[in-house]
Amino acid sequence: MRYGVDPGFQWENVTMMTVKDEKGNVINNVPMRIRGMCIAKENVTVPLGEYKCYEVSVKKIYQFPDGDRHEKMIFYYAPSVGNWVKMEKYVEDEKVSELSLIKTNYGSKKIPLPSYVILLAFAIAILMKIIYKAMRFTDNENSS
């Protein structure tokens, strides 16, 4: 999701949602249209305090064979927190949930990672890249 844009900025995306049963078998692939828009900048009060926020609306239309279903989420993104502080969810224009920020640990002192952890992370990334290239090479040989 894109944040920090000017009010009035909008975007759209079309994708597919895969519906699976409890065993993981695909039941259906449903087209989904997503429309987002930065509505306004406003002050929002949540249990943790008041924040200057961008109000961002994201509407989803699921195109099921038996008819469309609509869902809307409104996010209140606070740049000072670096995340949304409030979210409202609507299904077919009925509010079904609301989440608000009640506590953060953003202000707590960050402990740097030990250098061996950073080195290990880079080693794993390099190893994964080598394995991926080897798998692509093997696939190309098998298809020839």
User: pLDDT by residue (tens digit) across 5-48?
Assistant: 789 899 999 998 888 888 888 888 889 999 999 999 999 999 99
57 vs 118, more confident: 57
pTM of the predicted model over 0.85: no
Reply yes or no on whether the pLDDT at 140 is more than 70.
no
Q: Please, which residues have CB within 8 angstroms of residue 38's CB and are 6 or more apart in sequence?
A: 5, 6, 7, 8, 9, 10, 54, 55, 56
pLDDT above 80: residue 115: no
Among 125, 104, 100, 122, smallest CA distance to 113 is for: 122
pLDDT at 130 over 60: yes
Residue 86 has pLDDT above 90, yes or no: yes
Residue 30 and residue 101 in one domain = yes
Domain residues for 94?
Answer: 10-105
User: Is 86 found in the same domain as 131?
Assistant: no
Whether residues 59 and 127 share a domain: the answer is no
> Do 28 and 79 reside in the same domain of the chain?
yes
Can you say whether the dihedral through the CA atoms of 80, 84, 88, 92 is positive or negative?
A: positive
Structure tokens at 140: 């190309």
Nearest to 90 by CA among 59, 44, 67: 59
Give the total number of structural domains in the chain: 2
What tokens does 78 get? 């606070």
